[in-house]
Amino acid sequence: MKNVSNSIRLYPWFASISGDLLFFMAIDTLFLTTVKGLGAAEITLMTAIGTGICVILQYPLLCIIHKIGNTAAVRIGVILLIISALCYTCFVEKIFVFLGCIFYYLALFFIEMKSSILRNNLHALNRENEYMQIEARAKLLFSIYTLAIVIIAAPLFNLNHYLPNILCITVTVLACILSFCIHEPDTTRHFKKQSRKTELFLPTTLAIVASMLFIPLILITFSLTKLLAQENLGTMFEIEAVAYFITGLVLASRIARIISNAFFAHFGNKITSKSLFLLSFALIFAILLAFWGGIANGIAGYILMLIAIMLLYGVMDPYQIMIKKIIFEHTDNRNAQTALTLNFTALNLGQMCLNFVATAMLFNLPIVYVLAALLAFAVIESIVIFALVRSLRENIYRFKNLI
């Protein structure tokens, strides 16, 4: 059990540097347009192809994960992350940039199993109640890293366009080394009577549906709020001043994320699933604030949008952690692998669909109308959360076979 304890100790450090392409993520659009010569349409197409391939290959990828196990899957994911960073950095041809994007989304698909490793390790030591706190510590470290990177990435890029990428590759190599220090117990010993069928209980299904709306709503609202602030402030200030205002929104989002994760890291074990209600209402209120900020214009509107963005990023990580906790509480190890991959796919599908709706509306309507439409989706998400919490309270164990 020594390896299991060490893995739990290392988990926040590993998860915090393996969840994304650190450094590159801060300047990705700038790098792809300035250095690689890609246009906005090509970047959008590249993202659509990457997510689409993960959706199409979900079942064969899941079969591979069932076959090789969580630990091997995570190690493969980190290696794919390194390959992705190398494709973005070392090749001039656009085809390699597209391949880098595909490898990136495949890497995230496999790395998603890291949460299952943590769950199994905690279960083996009878420490399941620590799951949310440990995940929150990992998110807290990631939030601190991204805040620091947001501050230094632009100067590094201006010093040398490839410097953030070199640092990104260095971090992913470190993550790869740490992945070989992460272990998990033999799940057949700790999870008895595993079913050969992949079954999802009703709470798990509802959790995945709610997550499919919640996280994409946050990401799209954040992007639209930045655009709206830029439009409104652009009529009052010079472009240099507007850039500082937009940077302030990004920094505020990172600070809010750090505060929420620090709170969860200390009090996560005392928070119940009923808190999902508060997080859903916070999402609705944040979109309302962004909408009012767009109507108000000027500094007052900016302040409303600033508060909205802080709320959005303040609830994002706690929501994800609680959803995964619910998934783990209602699945065994094999079914948890299926649920995690379905959750990952649902997030991608949700983002693609909401992006399509937002893009179609933006051709003919102002951004505030799109925010109003997103508000309707947030209300739908809150209804799903109501059904989820109710099913948990009533301890409903109906399930349906999804695969």
> Which domains occur in the chain, in start order?
2-190 (1.20.1250.20), 199-401 (1.20.1250.20)
- pLDDT of amino acid 373: 93
Q: Contact, 347 vs 105, CB < 8 A?
A: no
- pLDDT of amino acid 334: 67
What contacts 256, CB < 8 A, 6 or more positions away?
Answer: 309, 310, 311, 312, 313, 314
DSSP 39-60: -HHHHHHHHHHHHHHHHHTHHH
> How is residue 330 annotated by DSSP?
T
The model's pLDDT over 74-104, given as tens digits with 9 standing for 90+, comes to 999 999 999 999 999 998 888 999 999 999 9
Q: Contact, 294 vs 368, CB < 8 A?
A: yes
Of 285, 385, 314, residue with least CA distance to 136: 314
The structure tokens listed for 128 are 């399941």
- pLDDT of amino acid 395: 54
- pLDDT of amino acid 401: 44
The structure tokens listed for 287 are 């979109």
Side-chain-side CA neighbours of residue 210 (13 Å): 29
Ranges of residues in the chain with a pLDDT under 50 are: 191-199, 396-403
CA dist 189 and 16 (Å) reads 29
Q: Which helix (H) or strand (E) holds 200?
A: strand 199-201
**3-class SS at 180?**
coil
Of 152, 151, 142, residue with least CA distance to 258: 142
Q: Contact, 81 vs 105, CB < 8 A?
A: no
- pLDDT of amino acid 193: 46
Place of tokens 């079969």: 63
CA dist 277 and 385 (Å) reads 7
CA dist 210 and 327 (Å) reads 12
Of 175, 101, 140, residue with least CA distance to 318: 140
Burial class of residue 36, CB neighbours in 10 A (0-12, 13-18, 19+): middle
Prediction pTM value: 0.82
The model's pLDDT over 112-122, given as tens digits with 9 standing for 90+, comes to 899 889 988 98
CA dist 244 and 247 (Å) reads 5
- pLDDT of amino acid 176: 95
Of 193, 221, 211, residue with least CA distance to 289: 221
The structure tokens listed for 184 are 């998990």
**3-class SS at 265?**
helix
DSSP 58-75: HHHHHHHHHHH-HHHHHH
Does the CA dihedral 176-180-181-184 come out positive or negative? positive
CA dist 34 and 117 (Å) reads 39
CA dist 327 and 180 (Å) reads 26
What torsion do the CA atoms of 207, 208, 212, 215 make, to the nearest 10 degrees?
60
